[in-house]
Amino acid sequence: MNIRTGFEVEEIRQAFLHNLFYVQARNSRTATLNDHYLALAYTVRDRMLERWMRSIETYFTSDNRVVSFLSAEYLPGPHLANNMLNLGICDAVEQAMQGLDIDVHELFEQEEEPGLGNGGLGRLAACYMDSLATREIPAIGYGIRYEFGIFDQQLKDGWQIERTDHWLQLGNPWEIARPEMTYVVKLGGHT
C-alpha cells in the first residue's frame, strides 16, 4: 500500500488520516472542518506532485521548449474538486471520506477561492493555461500572488464599503512556498 501516491480507497483514507495527524496535528476528536479540508487537499496534492515532478524532470532531460505566460490575474476557481476530477479519483475520495463519516461536499464548500484576479482577464488566463495543459504543451504561468485578493463590496446607507478578502487566512495547501527563490522585477511604482 502506498499512502503517499496510491489511488485506492484505503490508500486515500490512510493518507488523509496521516495528513490530519502529521500535517494538521489533529485527530478525529479535535479536527475542525478546515483541518479536514486541508488534510484532504494535501492528500490530493501528493498525488499531483508525483506527476508534476516527473514532468519537471522531463524538462531538464530533454530539449523541450516551455511556454511562459505572464498575467496580472488568474481565476482558476476552487482547486480541490477540480484536481480530484483531473486525477480521476472522485469516487475513491468520496468512498474514503464516507468511511470516516465525512461529507466531501462540505469540504468543497470550505475551500476559499484564490483571490488572484477579479474578472475576464483572470478567467481568460486560467482557461489559456488549462488549454495548454490539455494539449500537453509545457507551460509555466507567471502572475502576482495577491495577499488579500479582490475585495468584497457592500452597500451600507447608500455608500460602498470595501471588505478585504482574507483568502489566505486559513492556509493555502495548493501553493508551494519557495522563499529562497526571489527575483527583482523592475516595473516601477510602489505599494
Per-residue pLDDT of the chain (191 residues; tens, 9 = 90+): 888 899 999 999 999 999 999 999 999 899 999 999 999 999 999 999 988 898 888 888 888 888 999 999 998 889 999 999 999 999 999 999 999 999 999 999 999 888 888 778 899 999 999 999 999 898 999 988 888 877 778 888 999 888 888 888 888 999 988 889 877 777 777 65
pLDDT value of residue 177: 85
- Give the chain's domain count: 1
pTM of the full structure: 0.87
Relative orientation angle of helices 90-98 and 33-61, to the nearest 10 degrees: 150
What range defines the domain where residue 56 resides?
9-163
The per-residue pLDDT for 172 is 92
- Among 24, 129, 19, 34, smallest CA distance to 73 is for 129
Does a structural domain hold residue 182?
no
Asked whether residue 187 is assigned to any structural domain, the reply reads: no
| 103 within 8 A of 51, measured Cβ to Cβ | no
Contact assessment for residue 81 and residue 110, using Cβ atoms and an 8 Å cutoff: no
**Domain annotation covers residue 34:** yes
On whether residue 154 sits in a domain, the answer given is: yes
pLDDT at 118: 76
Residue 181 covered by a domain: no
Evaluate whether residue 103 is within a structural domain: yes
In a domain, 110, yes or no: yes
Residue 4 lies in a domain: no
Distance of CA 106 to the CA centre of its chain: 17
